[in-house]
């Protein structure tokens, strides 16, 4: 038999031996979504890294219950809130946030390297179709839930002197401007590709000379004059002194395993998002609507 330390996926029998449980109990816990597992062609598979994590989370005062790592889509408001929440929590808990793009974030979530993933993969009108369709492509999505964060304005950002030339969408692509790409799998890149498709174009039709790995990096390329135009959120354009043409109202949402939803750090974060102080902050940043924060949007069960 393969050594437990070298396994990627375990069978129910292997999990029963590993946890010293009855095999029937393992099946029951998988069916009740207590143990992290996925069903492939009728057979339960248990990712070992998630089984180990489940054991640690189940311990009294387990070392993972006092921390939460958020990954996925980049957002300036969320970055500010996580920093502010850490100052309130002090030394008792740890909350961290690293933006990776929607797809890589979901991959990290499925592998157990993150607790929460943020994503923005469609407009508000398309969210209930696009977001679940994206999630279903990842292992263990049956154990996930999706919760609404807020809506954001997404569109084109450019320097102020170029704004007057961006009033007609169908003319923008023909302009000889240098575009900023986002990395593959980022929500903003998905929006850009979808917008180009509506214009009857593709990425090959624009001069994308640099790639940005965050919203602020994208704005920096434009503000420094290294590029002319890119697709991003309104709040970043405003803080960078850039002009902005809104094109999409998108849903910025949080995905997590069901048990993580009740973790105190996440509930503190949702409480902070819903506070009057955060509403004032969001208004000053521009482009946000915090209505229905924390509302359950998707539960596969």
List, for residues 212-223, the tens digit of each pLDDT value. Answer: 999 999 999 999
Compute the average pLDDT of residues 145-170: 94
Tell me what pLDDT residue 2 has. 56
Compute the average pLDDT of residues 229-248: 96
The C-alpha atoms of residue 282 and residue 278 are separated, in whole angstroms, by 6
Tell me what pLDDT residue 90 has. 74
SS (H, E, C) 111-151: CCCCCEEEECCCECCCHHHHHHHHHCCCCCHHHEEEEEEEE
The C-alpha atoms of residue 240 and residue 249 are separated, in whole angstroms, by 20
Q: CA nearest 301: which of 125, 140, 122, 150? A: 140
Q: CA nearest 250: which of 103, 73, 69? A: 73
Query: Torsions phi, psi of 48, nearest 5?
Result: -60, -40
Is 100 in a helix, a strand, or coil?
A: coil
Question: Read out DSSP for 175-216?
Answer: S-PEEEEE-TT-HHHHHHHHHHHHTT--GGGSEEEEEESSHH
Q: Angle at CA 264, nearest 5°, toward 258 and 268?
A: 110
Query: Torsions phi, psi of 177, nearest 5?
Result: -100, 155
Express each pLDDT in 143-155 by its tens digit: 899 999 999 999 9
Let me know: does 287 contact 233? Beta carbons within 8 Å.
yes
């Amino acid at each position: 038999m393969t050594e437990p330390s070298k396994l990627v996926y375990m069978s129910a029998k292997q999990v029963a031996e590993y946890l010293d449980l009855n095999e029937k109990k393992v099946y029951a816990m998988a069916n009740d979504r207590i143990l992290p597992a996925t069903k492939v062609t009728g057979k339960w598979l248990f990712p070992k890294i998630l089984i180990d994590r489940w054991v640690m989370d189940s311990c009294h005062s387990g070392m993972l219950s006092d921390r939460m790592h958020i990954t996925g889509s980049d957002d300036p408001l969320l970055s500010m809130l996580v920093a502010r929440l850490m100052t309130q929590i002090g030394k008792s808990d740890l909350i961290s946030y690293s933006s990776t793009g929607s797809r890589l974030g979901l991959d990290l979530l499925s592998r157990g390297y993150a607790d929460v993933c943020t994503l923005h993969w469609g407009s508000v009108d398309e969210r209930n179709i696009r977001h679940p369709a994206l999630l279903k492509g990842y292992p263990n999505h049956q154990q996930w839930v999706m919760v609404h964060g807020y809506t954001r304005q997404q569109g084109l950002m450019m320097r102020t002197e170029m704004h007057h030339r961006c009033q007609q969408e169908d003319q923008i692509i023909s302009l000889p401007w240098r575009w900023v790409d986002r990395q593959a799998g980022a929500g903003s890149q998905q929006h850009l590709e979808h917008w180009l498709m509506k214009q009857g174009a593709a990425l090959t039709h624009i001069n994308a000379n640099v790639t940005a790995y965050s919203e602020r990096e994208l704005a920096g390329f434009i503000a420094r004059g290294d590029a002319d135009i890119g697709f991003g959120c309104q709040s970043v354009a405003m803080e960078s002194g850039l002009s902005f043409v809104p094109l999409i109202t998108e849903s910025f949402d949080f995905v997590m395993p069901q048990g993580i939803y009740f973790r105190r750090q996440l509930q503190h974060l949702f409480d902070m998002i819903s506070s009057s102080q955060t509403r004032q902050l969001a208004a000053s940043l521009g482009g946000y609507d915090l209505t229905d924060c924390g509302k359950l949007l998707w539960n596969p069960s």
